[in-house]
């Protein structure tokens, strides 16, 4: 029975199995630690799925059944070429081509997050630019109560360009075998699989300074 239980649990986690395409840099990773995405690409690693990611995936699977999103296309993939085999890639939750709108859903226990919401906002803005849409919506849905908060914005090429520059920085480091800087916010190191490498790098840097 134990083995059966393990297999059932694992099958939920398998929902997230998505091999990384060569040369692909995800939009969703770009507002965050460049070094982390650098290592992900370098080691061809996918983020380790956790239970929150699994339940998020399950919620996303029902989006196409919502009458509110009738007429939308779901999980559409977009890619923007950066040359030399490198791409910025995006998978958009829902896109309404007639209304030229992009819908990005976040299932969460916190309807408002001052830390993450601005980056979700930038992420959806970039999706809208990539899909040639005019408007975008971040829909935050409370996992337990289904209360909803919606942030709305207009596509802005400058935001796309800002994230593109970050992608180019990662590529430059990959091609020249240098390491990009760590995160702009310390909390990103919490639970990061690469934190042991970064802490060793910091120790090394300190030693060099002395």
Q: How far is the CB of 114 from other proteins (least distance, A)?
A: 5
Smaller CB separation from other proteins, 74 or 119: 119
Smaller CB separation from other proteins, 41 or 159: 159
Is 118 in contact with 82 (CB distance < 8 Å)?
A: no
Q: How far is the CB of 160 from other proteins (least distance, A)?
A: 10
Smaller CB separation from other proteins, 60 or 140: 140
> Distances in Å between the alpha carbon of 11 and those of 16, 20, 111, 130, 198?
9, 19, 29, 33, 33
Smaller CB separation from other proteins, 75 or 115: 115
List the alpha helices (DSSP H) in 48-194: 51-61, 117-130, 157-176
Q: How far is the CB of 42 from other proteins (least distance, A)?
A: 23
The whole-angstrom separation of Cα 178 and Cα 87 is 20
Smaller CB separation from other proteins, 51 or 118: 118
Q: How far is the CB of 125 from other proteins (least distance, A)?
A: 8
Nearest to 167 by CA among 198, 130, 196: 130
> Which helix (H) or strand (E) is 2 found in, with range?
helix 2-14
Q: Which residues would be at the binding site for other proteins (CB under 8 A)?
A: 31, 112, 114-115, 117-118, 121-122, 125, 149-154, 156, 158-159, 162, 166, 184-185
3 state DSSP class of 170: helix
Q: How far is the CB of 19 from other proteins (least distance, A)?
A: 29
> Distances in Å between the alpha carbon of 151 and those of 1, 37, 64, 135, 148?
46, 27, 20, 11, 10
């Amino acid at each position: 029975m134990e083995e059966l239980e393990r297999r059932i649990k694992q099958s939920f986690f398998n929902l997230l199995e998505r091999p990384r395409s060569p040369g692909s840099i995800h939009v969703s990773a770009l507002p965050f630690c460049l070094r982390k995405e650098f290592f992900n690409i370098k080691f061809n690693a996918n983020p380790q799925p956790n239970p929150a990611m699994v339940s998020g995936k399950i919620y996303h699977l029902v989006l196409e059944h919502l009458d509110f999103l009738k007429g939308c296309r779901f999980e559409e993939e977009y890619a923007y070429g950066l040359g030399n085999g490198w791409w910025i890639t995006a998978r958009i939750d829902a896109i309404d081509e007639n209304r030229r709108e992009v819908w990005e859903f976040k299932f969460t226990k916190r309807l408002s997050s001052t830390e993450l919401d601005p980056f979700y906002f930038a992420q959806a803005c970039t999706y809208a630019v990539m899909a040639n849409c005019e408007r975008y919506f971040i829909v935050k849905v409370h996992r337990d109560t289904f209360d909803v908060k919606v942030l709305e914005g207009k596509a802005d090429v400058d935001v796309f360009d800002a994230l593109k520059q970050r992608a180019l920085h990662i590529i430059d480091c990959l091609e020249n075998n240098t390491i990009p800087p760590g995160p702009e916010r310390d909390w990103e190191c919490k639970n990061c699989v690469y934190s042991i490498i970064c802490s060793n790098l910091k120790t090394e840097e300190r030693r060099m300074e002395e």
